[in-house]
Chains A and B, each alone.
Chain A
C-alpha cells in the first residue's frame, strides 16, 4: 500500500507536466487540426525563460535595492515566463503557421517540426551546450505521512497545475472567448461567418497553450533542476500522444490522459526494469486507441472537413 501511494504521489507530479503540455497540443489541434510538433520545444523555451527571469530576480533581490521573498520571486517568474512564452507562441503562429493556413495539413505539421528544430538549435547556438541549473527558490522539506514521503515542491507543483487546468476549463466553459474557441472547434467554416475572427481566436489559442507549456517548463525546472536544449523533445512527443488519447479539443480529456500517461510510466518503471518503460507505456496506449479510436472524450469526426 505504501508502495502504491508513494508511486501515486510521484505519478501525480510526473503526469502534471504531460497534462499541461497536452492541453496546448489539444487546443491547437481542435481548432486548426494542426499537429503543433514545436510545442515540446516551446515547453523547453519556457523553462529557459523561467530560468533567466528567476536568476535575474534572485540577483536583483540580493543586490539589496528591493529584497523580495523567495515565494514572490517564484510567483513573478511563473507569471512573467507565461506571458513571455505566450508571445513566443503567437510569433511562431504568425510567422510560420499563418501563411500556411490553406496548405495541406501535413505540410504544416512538417513546418512545425522544423520550427521545433530551429528552437532547439537556436538555443544551442545562442547559449551553448552547457546545462543550466534552475535556482532552488523553495527550501525543500519532506513530510512523512504514513510511510509516504511527500515534498513541499511536489505538492505545490500538483496543486498549481490543477489550478491552472481548472482556470482553463472555466475560461473555455464560462467566458465569451472560450465559447468562441469551442465554436471554432465545432465548425471552422461557418463560425467565422458569424463574426468570430479566425486570427484572433487562433492567436489566443496559441498564447494560452504556450503559457501552459511555460508553466510546465518552470515546474519541471523546479522538480528536476537541469535544463538542456533537447529536454522538450521526448516530453513533447509523449504529451502529444496524451493529447490525442484525451480526445479532440477536450480539456478534461487531455488533462486526464496526461495524468494517465504519468501513472503508466511511473508504475511500469517501479514494477518492471525501467528500460521497459516506453515499450509497455506505448503498447498500453496502442491498445486503448484500438478500442477507443477517438480518445476518452472525443467524438467521431472527419478530418476531411477541414481541408
Chain B
C-alpha cells in the first residue's frame, strides 16, 4: 500500500527530474562527501557505492549503507520528487523545441552529473570510461548476435585491429617514437585529428570484417561462428608476430586523448547511429532475416548484402571502441584481445538482452560495474559472475531487456497524469 503510494508519486517524475536529482546528489557528495565519510568512520569517499568496503570490512557495512542512503538515495529521491512539477513543466516546454535540442539538454545534464561524480576519484574516471567503451562494444556485437541472429566470435579481433590501427596513426603522426621516428604532423593538430584516427581504426576493422563476411555468408548455418573464431585467433597471432608494433610485448606511447568528454561523445554518437541503423529499413530487413531467412528473401530482401553491411557496420564500431581503449590505456597488447575478452563481451550482450539498445546498455553497465565491485573477492568473482549469468539465462533466455526499442519520445515526455488515471494505475497493480 505504502509502496504503491510511493511508486505512484515517483511515477510522475519525468527523466528530467531524475537528472536533477542525480546532479544534486553528486553535488552533495562533492561538497560534504569527505566530512560525512569521516563521521561515519570510512577511510574516504567510497569509490564505487561502497561495494569494496562492504566486501573487505563487513563491520563497516552499516556505515557504507548509511553513506549511500545519505549521499545518493535521499537527495536524488527528494529532489526528483520535489522538482517533479517544475521538471514536468520544463518537459512540457521542451516538447515545443526540436527534439535534438531536448536530447542534447538531457545528455548535457547526464554528462554534468557523471563528470562531477567521476571528478572525485581517478579510479571512477577509469571505470566510467571503460564502461562507456563496453557499451559501444556490446551494442555493436548486438547488431550481429541479436538483430542478425548469427553467432559472431570475432569482436575482440576487430577491437584489436581498431586499437592498433588508430595507435599507429597517432603515434606515427604526433609522437616522438623509437620505431616511427619524429612526429610527422605538428602536435597542435593532435586532438583535432583524433577522430580521424579512430575512424581509420574503424575502417581497418571493417575492411578486415570483409575477410570474414565473404566466406561465411555464402551458406547458411553456423559458419560465421567458426570462421569468426578462427579470424580472432589469426588477428591475435598476426599482431604477436608484427615486430613493428611491439609483437607480444605490446604497443605503447599512445597520447592519452581518450578523456571522459571524448569517450562520452563517441559513445553517444555510437548509440545514436546504431539506434537509427536498427530502426531503419535495413535494420528491419535484418530482423526479418533473423526470423526467417527464406521468407525474407522472397520478400525482396537481399539477404547476403544486408548481412554483410550489418556485419561491417558492427566491425567498424568495434574498431572505434578499440581505438578509444588504446588511447585510454596508452598501452595495448595482443593478449588483451583473446578468449577472455570474447566471453566478457558475449556475456554483456546476452545478459543485457538481444535486439535491444537499452538492453545492451544495461548489460554493459551492470556487468562492468559488477566486475569492478566484486574485485575484492578475487578468485571467487569468476565463480559468482558466471553463476549469475547462467541463472539469468535459465530464467530469461534472451536476456534481461530483450526485444525492446529505445523510445526517445516516451523517455523525454512529461509524466504528470490526471489524478483519475493515477488512481486507475494503482488499482490495477
Contact = CB atoms under 8 A, between A and B. Distances in A.
B393 to A, nearest CB: 5
A279 B219 contact: no
Contacts of B220: 302-304
A283 interface: yes
B275 interface: no
Nearest to A307: B149
Interface string B214-251: 01001111110111011101101110110000001000
Binding site of A, secondary structure by majority: helix, strand, loop or mixed?
helix
B231 to A, nearest CB: 7
A108 to B, nearest CB: 8
Nearest to B234: A282
A244 B382 contact: no
A288 to B, nearest CB: 10
B393 A275 contact: no
A100 B383 contact: no
Given A99-B394, A114-B347, A278-B237, A286 B230 contact: yes
B383 A118 contact: yes
Interface in A51-107: 96, 99-100, 102-107
Contacts, number: 130
Interface string A250-293: 00000000000000000000000001111100110110011001
A168 interface: no
Interface stretch (B23-31, B120-128, B384-392): B384-392
B52 interface: no
A279 B390 contact: no
B145 A106 contact: yes
A303 B294 CA distance: 13
B227 A109 contact: no
B82 interface: no
B236 to A, nearest CB: 7
A10 interface: no
Contacts of B346: 110, 113
Given A113-B346, A278-B236, A289 B215 contact: yes
A205 B358 CA distance: 39
A122 interface: yes
B237 A118 contact: no
B299 interface: no
Contacts of B215: 286, 289-290, 293
B326 interface: no
B237 A304 contact: no
A159 interface: no
B70 to A, nearest CB: 36
A8 interface: no
Contacts of B398: 103-104, 107
Interface in A101-132: 102-111, 113-115, 117-118, 120-122, 124-125
Contacts of B379: 121, 124-125
A286 B397 contact: no
A98 B41 CA distance: 49
B397 A100 contact: yes
Contacts of A14: none
Given A109-B151, A293-B219, A300-B219, A283 B347 contact: no
A125 B293 CA distance: 45
B188 to A, nearest CB: 40
A282 B236 CA distance: 11
Contacts of B225: 35
B395 to A, nearest CB: 9
Residue in B145, B218, B219, B234 with the greatest tally of chain A CB atoms within 10 Å: B234
A197 B13 CA distance: 55
Interface string B141-152: 000010000010
A188 interface: no
Contact of A104 (B240, B292, B397): B397
A283 B389 CA distance: 33
A286 B145 contact: no
A285 B230 contact: yes
Contacts of A285: 230
Contacts of B240: 275
A237 interface: yes
Contact of B343 (A104, A117, A286, A303): A117
Contact of A278 (B234, B293, B394, B397): B234
Given A104-B397, A241-B230, A275-B240, A115 B339 contact: no
A110 to B, nearest CB: 4
A69 to B, nearest CB: 40
A184 interface: no
B354 interface: yes
A141 to B, nearest CB: 36
Contacts of A121: 379-380, 382-383, 386
A301 B226 CA distance: 16
Contact of A279 (B151, B221, B237, B387): B237
A117 B389 CA distance: 11
A106 B222 CA distance: 11
Q: Which 3 A-B residue pairings sit nearest by Cβ, starting from the closest?
A: A103-B397, A114-B386, A278-B237
Given A100-B394, A293-B219, 19 more contacts: A35-B222, A100-B393, A103-B398, A106-B145, A106-B350, A106-B354, A110-B350, A111-B389, A111-B390, A117-B386, A241-B226, A241-B230, A275-B237, A275-B240, A278-B236, A279-B234, A279-B238, A285-B230, A286-B227
11 contacts: A35-B222, A35-B225, A100-B393, A103-B393, A104-B354, A107-B397, A110-B347, A117-B386, A124-B379, A279-B241, A289-B223
Interface of A: 33, 35, 96, 99-100, 102-111, 113-115, 117-118, 120-122, 124-125, 233, 237, 240-241, 244, 275-279, 282-283, 285-286, 289-290, 293-294, 300-304
